[in-house]
Amino acid sequence: MVQFHEEFSPGWAIFTVKLDNARAPSAYWRALHCLAGPVLFCGLGLWKLAVVLLLGAAVWIFPRDVAEEKLVCMKGLGLQLSSRNRSGKTTSDFVEMSEIEEIIIAEAVTYFDVFYYLVVELKGSDRTKVPFRTLRPPVAQQLRVLRVLRDMLGLDDAERSKTAPQHSPSWGQGRRSGR
């Protein structure tokens, strides 16, 4: 469904997730649903209504599909989150490095699905930014993005381990059966 691409340089990293147009069943199903009504109306002799419905579907549904989402990390500056839809409209948001408190991978549970997504937590507020909001890369790529972002933005685990609670050496070790 999605293609994942990454580029690196000493001062920046770019992560891009693109919709694979050859394998976009949601767009095909939407097209089928949008065409079913006008075909029915043409059969009833209401061809003007059919044309209006087809134009409405073309203007309303297809340009809104996200075709690409991009995350650019600039060392010492912050993150740029951008998305481009099928019509070419691009929206971008910049998060300064001083505003970033934490970058984590969160888990979402719905009735039919469990999925993971990258979250940028902002300092001093309950607001968050989600880099890949619509096109979610696989978890393995999200872990890679997380590690690179934390390394480039200086959010390494060494600083956090000083403030994290210490566990006893036996923590996490279960009892062995047969004893």
d(C-alpha 91, C-alpha 88), whole Å: 10
Going by C-alpha positions, the residue among 3, 4, 62, 67 that lies closest to residue 28 is 62
How would residue 63 be classed by pLDDT, with cut points 50, 70 and 90? low
Determine the 3-state secondary structure of 44 from DSSP: coil
Convert the pLDDT of each residue in 147-178 to its tens digit: 999 998 888 765 554 444 444 344 344 444 44
Q: What is the mean pLDDT of residues 38-48?
A: 60
2-20+70-157 has CATH 2.30.29 classification: yes
List beta partners, residue 116. 107
Domain ranges of the chain: 2-20+70-157, 23-62
Convert the pLDDT of each residue in 127-138 to its tens digit: 899 999 888 888
- Given a contact cutoff of 8 angstroms between Cβ atoms, the answer to whether 98 and 76 are in contact is no
- Given a contact cutoff of 8 angstroms between Cβ atoms, the answer to whether 87 and 61 are in contact is no
Determine the 3-state secondary structure of 88 from DSSP: coil
